[in-house]
Amino acid sequence: MGRFSKMHGLGNDFVVIDARESAIEMTEARARAIADRHAGIGCDQLILIGEADDADVSMQIFNADGSEVEACGNATRCVPLFVGRDVLIRTKAGLLDAKSVDGGASVDMGAPRFDWDAIPLAYAMDTLSMGASWEDLPAPAAVNVGNPHVVFFVDDLNGVNFDRLGPLIEHDPLFPKRVNVNFAQPVGYSHIRLVVWERGAGLTRACGTGACATAVAAIRRKLMTGPVTVSLPGGDLVIDWAPGGTIRMTGPATHVFDGEADWSRF
């Protein structure tokens, strides 16, 4: 039997496994089975906490479809709550510094990247106002915040068909590693409403890296100044960034329950 914790950040939920206690071989099929909400435990992402030579812990992230990804902001906020102290975390996106605050955590998410081949895109183009769009959406911005994001600023979120446009854009050949799709509606000089179609997970109640990418894109376009409050269906995150610096994300993290499972059954 192996132990796990169920946690969430603004409703973006995780099964968190401490692989420091007992190693577990994680495959795409096993991650997908654990994440299944009908026959498994159920989650948006599966998180493995392990040892690291250059940090307090390491974090591996698997989407509900079993694919491994580089970064997850909401999961990162859960790590200091899971470990019980402030932590430096080794991820595929780099080292992330996570500190506990009342009700959650504040995380230095590192510096965003804007070069077309760092997103990555299939070919060169301006990532602040891309020379590509889909149907009647405006030209988006692209940002890599440890994982790839495309951001559309729209006048009214109620007029966007997320279920149709999300997967269409996620799987477009322009994005060789697929992409997280952010639909953002500015509602003030420091406030954005956001809905995210998450790569490998679909519509989500919250996406921390999506909030970071969207706030950065808004500041780059001079639509607003930081810190920016990003309102997602699950609640609010505060994102602070200045050009040339790193991104600071602050928001809630919640421990729901602990459980045990026989991983050989998955």
Task: Report CA-CA distances (Å) from 195 to 137, 188, 204.
Answer: 14, 17, 8
Which residue from 46, 58, 57, 48 is spatially nearest to 14, judged by alpha carbons?
46
- Per residue of the chain (266 residues), give pLDDT as tens: 899 999 999 999 999 999 997 789 999 999 999 999 999 999 999 999 999 999 999 999 999 999 999 999 999 999 999 999 999 999 999 999 999 999 899 999 999 999 999 999 999 999 999 999 899 999 999 999 999 999 999 999 999 999 999 999 999 999 999 999 999 999 988 999 999 999 999 999 999 999 999 999 999 999 999 899 999 999 999 999 999 999 999 999 999 999 999 999 99
Q: Which residues contact 23 (CB under 8 A, 6 or more apart)?
A: none
d(CA 44, CA 51): 23
- Give the long-range contacts of residues 24-31, CB within 8 A, separation 24 or more: 24/48, 24/263, 26/60, 26/62, 27/66, 28/62, 28/66, 28/67, 28/68, 29/66, 30/66, 30/263, 30/266, 31/62, 31/63, 31/66, 31/68
pTM of the model: 0.92
What is the model's pLDDT at position 21? Answer: 79
d(CA 88, CA 65): 27
What is the model's pLDDT at position 227? Answer: 97
d(CA 62, CA 70): 9
| Amino acid at position 249, single letter | M
For the chain, list the strands marked E by DSSP: 2-9, 12-18, 45-50, 57-63, 68-69, 87-91, 94-101, 104-108, 141-144, 148-153, 180-188, 191-198, 202-204, 228-232, 235-240, 248-252, 254-261
What is the model's pLDDT at position 75? Answer: 96
What is the chain's length? 266
Which residues does residue 18 pair with via DSSP β-bridges, in sequence order? 49
What is the model's pLDDT at position 226? Answer: 87
Look at the block and give the residue holding tokens 């809905």. Answer: 195
Look at the block and give the residue holding tokens 């590509």. Answer: 132
Active-site positions?
Answer: 72, 207
Percentage helix, strand, coil, to 5, in the chain?
20, 40, 40
